[in-house]
Amino acid sequence: MGFSSKYFYLTKKQATLKNLLTQKHIPLLGWSSSSPLNFRPEAKTLVLLVIGLILFGVGETLLIAAGIGVSPWTVLAQGISNITSLSIGEASFFVSLLVIFLWIPLKQMPGIGTILNAIIIAAVIEFSLPFLPYPEDSIYQILQTILGVLVVGIGSGIYLISNLGAGPRDGLMTGLQRVTQLPISIVRTTLEIVVVIIGWSLGGVVGLGTVIFAIGIGPAVSMGLVTVERLSLVSKKIAS
C-alpha cells in the first residue's frame, strides 16, 4: 500500500470516527415512519422496528449473562429498591413512568414503538437468557459485555430510525439531544453516568460491566445509527 493510499485510508477512518462521535440526529430513511404517532405503519417499517428491538433485547441479555455488572438503569432500580419497599422490577417500572413524564417538557412523542419496546425486550431477555453463554473467564466476560453493548447499539439504530416511538430511556436521550444540540454519544453517555452515580449513591451495585455499558453505549448507539443509515443507502443504490 503506497503513501497516498495509506493517507486516504487513515483519513477515511478518522472521518468515520468523527461521524460516530458527532452524530446529532436520528436519520429518517425511505422506510422510516413519517411520524411516531403512526398506528398503521408500512409492513417493512414495523418488521425493522421488531428486528431492532429483538437485537436490543439480545444485547441486554448478553450483558446480564456476562455476569460482571448490570446496566446503569438497573443499578438505579436496585438503589431505589434499597430505600423503599419496592422490588427491583417494580422500581424499574416506576422509573420508566417517571422518565416518560420527563418527556413532556422535552415535547417527545410516543408511538407503538414505545409500547413494543417494553414488551419485546422483556420477552427476548426472558426467552434467550437460558441459551446464552455464561463465561467464567474474566477476559471472555469482558468481551461478551462489549459485544452486548455493540448489539444494543445496532438494535437501537434500527428501531430508532423506524421512527415509531422510542422507549422511555431512548426517548429521554433524543429529547435532551434535540434541546441541547449536543452529539447523541455525549448525551447518552452523560445520561448513563448520571444514572449510575445516583443508583450507586442509593446502594445499587456497580460492576465492571456497568462501567463498560455507561461509557460505551453512547458511541455504540451513534455507530448503530450511522451503520444502518449507510447500509440502507447502499442497498437503495444497488436496488436502483
Separation CA 169–CA 29 (nearest Å): 23
The count of residues in the chain is 240
Q: Can you give the pTM of this predicted structure?
A: 0.86
pLDDT in tens, 207-231: 999 999 999 999 999 999 999 988 8
Write the CA distances from 153 to 50, 169, 183, 217, 225, integer angstroms.
15, 13, 15, 7, 8
How confident is residue 166, by pLDDT bands cut at 50, 70 and 90? very high
166-178 mean pLDDT: 93
pLDDT in tens, 191-207: 999 999 999 999 998 99
Q: Is the pLDDT of residue 16 over 80?
A: no
What is the average pLDDT value for the chain, to the nearest integer?
87
How confident is residue 22, by pLDDT bands cut at 50, 70 and 90? confident
- Nearest one of 32, 30, 69, 22 to 157, comparing CA atoms: 32
